[in-house]
Structure 1
């Protein structure tokens, strides 16, 4: 069982696609989306097996666990009906079934489709931007075969991308940068603390390494997961990192892009004044992950790297 733990606009759709295209993987895209939404409204969720009984804040861990263990009937009906079900190869058949059979009775009728996809796969994986490393302790303690891939991207690229989709405003960039970098660093601190207790079960991956060295990093991830990196997977990685082929979904989640160009996009689109704010606030995180601060002279010079060479850890 695998949790791809990451943050909004940090390359997780791209990384998740590299994982989910292995036929041995059952993959779920953002299973906590509905739970976060209802938590903000302080509302109850409805469960097929319990009705309106559990408050939202207590159910995130259980939702991840249920997807990972194929216990679909323990998941709330809003999550089972969320639009993100269409963003995974393995949950799309179920989503199409629900579109043909709406309502709770339709969900019950279609659940076997979802269960079959999950049960037949040796590896189950959930990708989430709505969880944290501290709360992973419960699942790691309970299930000895859960692994975590902790995906991190340069904060300058992440914040630029969040702004581009209207998630944040640069009018309060300092606040957003502080909140984001503190969150990531907190997860890294917890990860460093618990790794000795869970050897070979937590892998920290830097998005830039996957984008710049896709085959080497994909091989490292697959080895960590115990998966076979086949020729067809290598061909798929080649397509989605070179921008070749016709596999783009034509939306903001499209992964069919030139990955090396994407890595440097923030350097040609952000003002130096914005970069300087992020660099100052996020310095503690930079030191942990090998990111380098920019100056007015090297920001646009793409031959000067903005991160050190490092391996996933």
Structure 2
């Protein structure tokens, strides 16, 4: 039996031969292996601002480790309803963008780091960034992360960080007016202004939602309390990532396991559904067949590596990991969320139950199965080629012909009891 944080137990599952925390698996026959600063005053503010009251015992840190099109936004939205929660949505996106173009990133203390090109954020860099986030030391993050908002700050996902970004936007507008009144940019009345404007081709989606030309580090420092105080005052600190690897999570746990009450939710989905969803939206340009093939290979390689490392980490960090399939969220939302919150040591009250009932209307088994009505045999074969070995590990059923795929009476995943 696997124990939750409040003495409750949950039935273990078979996950590539090892006990894991995949929920509610009572059937033992199912194979779930599932700019540089020189102003001394500014520097002293940043140096002394690493809050030592990291996290007290009452604070719960929840990290969602997911992949593109796995329902992580839905999961994060529900967990955001927890009383006293503070939610940060996809905060590694800026670092990934910088890694893709081998940019140098700059920190508030004036240090710079040159990144190596790659699709994933460097493990150590990602782990350290997440550590600063969950311990509310945001001023130790790089400028790009501090200025970046993936979606509109008026969206529900940015409810908790919106006051900070509005502060940045307001001060940025004032800064632009001040700049317009100076004949020379270098005459601006503050130390070492630094333009963070990115070339148009490198602006991330949603970049219009954050102040691209903000240059005054004092502005960031003046706005940061709006972010860090809300974080420190929260009883639940929630972050969602589709750009965090299990390797970076391992490094993160080494650093914070003794400081915070942390849980990792590993959210997966049928690779066939994941890739078809990307295809329908043409994410990453996957409508080009060669790109679809490369992307499928990459996605399942990441998933495979994460699952392999999960088998090592789960016994090392008992009661830290919760494995979850998107299909279980839509098949039985109330049961699944109640079990998840029990594992997290949090209550599943009436308000949460009502919210799950209302929100689950938009996340149904029929919607989860849309891939079966859309995927072509050519795309199916590509996903099978690179991902088929993961199906039995995660409880998915191989479908060899298009007739089987289209016949919705044929199960594509093993349903949990």
What is the TM-score normalised by the length of structure 2? 0.67
Equivalent residue pairs, number: 296
Match of 1:60 among 123, 126, 150: 126
Residue of structure 1 equivalent to 2:366: 261
Assess, with a 3 A threshold, how the Cα gap between structure 1 residues 291 and 170 changes in structure 2: closer, same or farther. Answer: farther
Structure 2 residue matching 1:106: 3-state secondary structure: helix
Map 1:5-84 onto structure 2 (within 5 A): 5-48=65-108, 50-56=109-115, 57=122, 58-84=124-150
**Match for residue 224 of structure 2 among 87, 94, 111:** 111
How far apart are the structure 2 equivalents of 1:179 and 1:107?
A: 37
C-alpha deviation, 1:286, in angstroms: 0.5
Q: Report the alpha carbon displacement of residue 170 of structure 1 after superposing the two structures with TM.
A: 4.9
Q: Is the 8 A contact 1:20 1:89 kept in 2?
A: no
Aligned equivalents of 1:155, 1:292: Cα separation in 2: 11
CA distance in 2, matches of 1:171, 1:157: 16
Distance 1:84 1:277, change over 3 A: closer
Partner residue of 1:193 out of 312, 328, 348: 312
Structure 1 partner of 2:211 = none
Unaligned runs of 5+ in 2: 1-60, 116-121, 173-213
TM-score, normalising length: structure 1: 0.88
Whichever structure has more helix as a proportion of its residues is 1
1:272 Cα deviation (Å)?
Answer: 2.8
Question: 1:101·1:107 contact (CA, 8 Å) conserved in 2?
Answer: no
* CA offsets 1:99-156 (integer angstroms, 9 cap, x no match): 2222333322221111121111122121111121122112112222332111001111
Q: Which among 96, 108, 132 is matched to residue 166 of structure 2?
A: 96
SS in 1 for 2:169: helix
Partner residue in 1 for 2:191: none
Q: CA RMSD in A?
A: 1.8
- Residues 173-212 of structure 1 mapped to structure 2, 5 A cutoff: 173-212=292-331
Residue 96 of structure 1, CA deviation: 2.3
1:171 counterpart residue number? 289
Instruction: Check conservation: 1:208, 1:263, Cα contact below 8 A.
Output: yes
Equivalents in 1 of 2:384, 2:167: separation in Å? 48
Corresponding residue number in structure 1 for 2:47: none
The structure with higher relative contact order (CA 8 Å, sep 6+) is: 2
